[in-house]
Amino acid sequence: MINRRKFISRTALAAMGILAIPAWLRAVKAASPVFPLRGNTPMVISTWNHGYEANEAAWKVLESGGSAVDAVEQGVRVPEADPDNLSVGLGGLPDRDGHVTLDASIMKGNGECGSVTFLEHIKHPISVARLVMDKTPHVILSGEGALQFALENGFGKENLLTEKAKKAWEEWLVKAEYEPVINIENHDTIGMLAIDKQHHIAGACTTSGVSFKMHGRVGDSPVIGAGLYADDEVGAATATGMGELVLKTLGSFLLVEFMRNGYSPQEACEEGIKRIVEKIPGYENFQIGYLAVNTSGETGAYAIHKGFNYALFRDGKFELIDSDYYLKS
Ligand code: GLY
């Protein structure tokens, strides 16, 4: 227990900022005032090739003065509705029992957030997550409860298992070996971050998760702080790849906290990957890709392996960019 004298001296130190921030960090923060710059907006960044079409939808919202949260919701609905996309929404590869189960989260820079996990039969889990944020006192709804909430709010129940995904599952069933692999196929979860003309930041993250996963498995994407985090005072981050590694290091929250402490978005992404490398044996068997943006609209991206790319729309330039990565040989 802290006695009164200790409490007073801690309070005094905290008031001077000494407990909260180490000396080296105070120097970094003084040298690089990240927070007040606020340029380079609107902008939107998102994971993988499918981020390009998603960004186009988000950009329409941002360009017309819409909010970052509307932009990211509208943006990620594009791959969610694409039956040819095997890792998000409709057409996502099922779990090993043949169920397409979806995870999604959405977060505003003011701290409001919502998510759904293990949701079946609903093509747009991101919009259910949005309603969890806007209409309930909760952050996460899961499984049957999330489905019930969606149906009560007018979402239609659909079969999300397309013929293409069913065929892939049936081929997998022949051996039924559960071996999550490095993703080199230029798609996976879509994580999207945007800043609007009012300088508010928001993010969305949505996925069908690891293909042929155990029934009931939930990844990082719907876990606020793991697959997604946003803070108007600092920036935002999102993750793609093997969710267990991101969950074990609470990756997106970690990246935002690195930025809060003076790191650039690129440095934050690299430190986030370094944390995985240092803490998780066998990390080299999996891919993780991180994206981060600060309130100035500066961006960062980093992955474990070659092959991660992202779409960045900013300053009238619409680009698909290959990310730098850790394992160079
Ligand atoms: N990153 C998506 C997942 O692991 O489910």
Atom from ligand 1 closest to the CA of residue 243 = 4
Taking the C-alpha atoms of residue 275 and residue 296, their distance in angstroms, rounded to an integer, is: 25
Check whether the bond before 42 is cis (ω within 30° of 0): yes
Helix (H, G, I), strand (E, B) or coil at 228: strand
Residue 23 lies in a domain: no
Residue 25 has pLDDT above 90, yes or no: no
Atom from ligand 1 closest to the CA of residue 103 = 5
In the set 47, 101, 162, 189, the catalytic residue is 189
Residue 82 lies in a domain: yes
Give 24 Cα–ligand 1 centroid separation in angstroms: 35
Is-contact 294 259, C-beta < 8 A? yes
Residue 32 has pLDDT above 80, yes or no: no
List strand residue ranges (DSSP E) for 75-196, in order: 102-108, 113-119, 140-142, 190-195
What is the span of the domain harbouring residue 190? 51-325
Q: Mean per-residue pLDDT for 173-188? A: 71
Residue 177 has pLDDT above 90, yes or no: no
* Beta strands 228-231; 140-142: pairing state: unpaired
Residue 22 lies in a domain: no
Which residue lies with its CA nearest to atom 4 of ligand 1?
Answer: 243
Residue 107 lies in a domain: yes
Q: Mean per-residue pLDDT for 73-101? A: 96
Best of 246, 248, 291, 304 for a ligand 1 pocket test (most atoms within 8 Å of beta carbon)? 246
Banded model confidence at residue 180, pLDDT cuts 50, 70, 90? low
Poorest-pLDDT segment among 135-139, 182-186, 308-312 = 182-186
Residue 248 lies in a domain: yes
What pLDDT score does 178 carry?
Answer: 73
Residue 14 lies in a domain: no
Q: Mean per-residue pLDDT for 98-114? A: 98
What pLDDT score does 182 carry?
Answer: 61
What pLDDT score does 28 carry?
Answer: 44
Number of structural domains, the chain? Answer: 1
Residue 112 has pLDDT above 70, yes or no: yes
List, chain by chain if needed, residues with CB within 6 Å of any ligand 1 atom.
189, 207, 209-210, 219-221, 240-243
Best of 220, 244, 250 for a ligand 1 pocket test (most atoms within 8 Å of beta carbon)? 220
Taking the C-alpha atoms of residue 242 and residue 247, their distance in angstroms, rounded to an integer, is: 9
In the residue annotation, 189 being an active-site residue is answered as yes
Banded model confidence at residue 5, pLDDT cuts 50, 70, 90? very low
Banded model confidence at residue 29, pLDDT cuts 50, 70, 90? very low
Q: Is the pTM of this model over 0.85?
A: yes
Which residue lies with its CA nearest to atom 5 of ligand 1?
Answer: 209
Give 239 Cα–ligand 1 centroid separation in angstroms: 8
Taking the C-alpha atoms of residue 311 and residue 291, their distance in angstroms, rounded to an integer, is: 10
What pLDDT score does 41 carry?
Answer: 80
Residue 244 lies in a domain: yes
What pLDDT score does 240 carry?
Answer: 97
What pLDDT score does 329 carry?
Answer: 75
Give 172 Cα–ligand 1 centroid separation in angstroms: 19
pLDDT tens digit sequence for 225-261 = 999 999 999 999 999 999 999 999 999 999 999 999 9
Residue 17 lies in a domain: no
Atom from ligand 1 closest to the CA of residue 227 = 1
Q: Mean per-residue pLDDT for 102-119? A: 98
Give 102 Cα–ligand 1 centroid separation in angstroms: 10
Which has the higher per-residue pLDDT, 181 or 77?
A: 77
Apex 116 CA angle, 112 and 121, nearest 5 = 145
CATH number of the domain encompassing residue 257: 3.60.20.30
What pLDDT score does 63 carry?
Answer: 95
Residue 296 has pLDDT above 70, yes or no: yes
Q: Buried b / exposed e across 165-181, counting CB within 10 Å, b at 16+? A: beebbeebeeeeeeeee
Give 294 Cα–ligand 1 centroid separation in angstroms: 24
* Beta strands 113-119; 140-142: pairing state: parallel
Q: Mean per-residue pLDDT for 130-152? A: 98
Atom from ligand 1 closest to the CA of residue 209 = 5
Residue 35 has pLDDT above 80, yes or no: no
What pLDDT score does 38 carry?
Answer: 55
Taking the C-alpha atoms of residue 180 and residue 49, their distance in angstroms, rounded to an integer, is: 21
Taking the C-alpha atoms of residue 203 and residue 82, their distance in angstroms, rounded to an integer, is: 20
